[in-house]
Amino acid sequence: MSEIAIGAICLACSLVLIQTGMNIGVALMLLSFVGVWAIKGLVIAGKLLASSVATSIASDAYAVIPLFVLMGLFVSATKIGRDTFDVAALLLRRLRGGLGIATVAANAVFAACTGTTIASASVFTKVAVPEMIRHGHTPQFSVGVVAGSSVLGMLIPPSILMIIFGVIANVSIADLFTSGILPGILLAVAFCITILLLSHFRQGFVANDPKALSGEYAGPLEGASAWIVAAKFLPIVILVGTVLGGIYGGFFTPTEAGGAGALAAFLIALARRELTLKIFWAVALETGRVTAAICFLLMAAALYSQMLTLSGLPYAAGQWLQNAELGFIPVLLGYLIVVILLGCFLDSVSIMLIVLPFVIPVFDSFGVNLVWLGLITIIAIEIGLLTPPLGIAIFVVKANLEDQRISAWDIFKGTTPMTLTMVMVLILCVLFPKLVLVLVGQNWSWW
């Protein structure tokens, strides 16, 4: 059997094993070891396995992972998310569909502190969905807005997916963070415009009660003084200012910003008297679990990448594409379609770990800007989080719903407008790379 055939079989088997429920890292590590064994022998396979464990994450840059995870868990453990939603709902209550727009706005701000879709979906399912339903919005619309806007957690920095992409593709994490700001804001604004249009032209989809669209909302902060409202919003402002202001102001590296953000989140939780010893211990344990899981995945990805390189599969694919003279546009379209389809069955991290070591050499041959590739990859993956049959964000919302009468299919239908909005933003970012690269100071285009 040829080396290329071995690499192709390992690639196909990784998809099958992960789909059967095997841990992603275990599947990649096992198949990579077996693949290298078949190509170079047992001794080389053992040495590469030891090397991936010893050196793949032996850098201070990887400290950014536990620090941002810790910050996100401190934020999730407090009521900062609820306060952010209450303030946004108060300020936007006069708009048609104001509660939906408030959910998007709060999710966008919350995303700048947590970095994960799951955290945003978990918090706002419990906070926003009951309020929206109580004020006459349909269950489908309520859960659709929450699930759809939760994907902002991976696009607006800091983002765990950006960190993983930066590690795999050897791209500056700071550049990825910076490049995500404008597309993240664009997507949030697009979500708000979608909600406004639905509130005017598809009122039956948005609300059961016409009063829900009249701007009459009496939330917890109704009638509160400006000082109380400001005090509710101040913690999230401090966190966002510490992390993003520190990075883009040149005061912190991403790793240092993670440490500063984690410290700020800890002090805020203490000041609000919401951090008990039990919660602190739970946060510390969960940080350890998540960090260990991510680091193991990165070790597996390093060995997997080495196996593919030894097999010659990425080089052979690149040569085939050049000989076929398909050109850059068909390759890019095919890649994005595959990523979105994989999102229907696999989680975002699995897609990155499986696909990126294979496709990055191919895109390198076209001279593609990898920062731009990273951002459009993340958007495409996030679209997959909202599509059946898997749709991770959908099932996170379902698991946190207090109203069990709302089915997963109801959530899928509710997110359809948000999914289409994401597709439009993806098209804009593909057609106009400057939207992604302008803040990074890079000038590149595939046109």
pLDDT by residue (tens digit) across 125-169? 777 788 777 777 888 888 888 888 888 878 888 788 888 888 888
The letter for the amino acid at 44 is I
Six-digit token pair at 426? 């993806």
**In-domain check, residue 159:** yes
Nearest residue to 297 (alpha-carbon basis) of 14, 10, 7, 4? 14
Structurally, the chain folds into a number of domains equal to 1
Nearest residue to 382 (alpha-carbon basis) of 419, 330, 437, 337? 419
Q: Which residues, given as ranges, of the chain have pLDDT below 70?
A: 19, 56, 59, 61, 114-116, 118-119, 209-224, 318, 321-322, 324-325, 345, 389-392, 402-404
Q: Which distant-in-sequence residues (6+ apart) come within 8 Å of 379 by Cβ?
A: 155, 183, 187, 422, 425, 426, 429
Nearest residue to 92 (alpha-carbon basis) of 78, 109, 117, 80? 109
| Domain membership of residue 24 as a residue range | 3-440
pLDDT by residue (tens digit) across 105-115? 888 887 777 66
**In-domain check, residue 445:** no
pLDDT confidence of residue 61 = 67
**In-domain check, residue 67:** yes
pTM: 0.81
**In-domain check, residue 422:** yes
Asked whether the beta carbons of 124 and 397 are under 8 A apart, the reply is no
pLDDT confidence of residue 423 = 93
**In-domain check, residue 330:** yes
**In-domain check, residue 447:** no
Asked whether the beta carbons of 135 and 212 are under 8 A apart, the reply is yes
**In-domain check, residue 446:** no
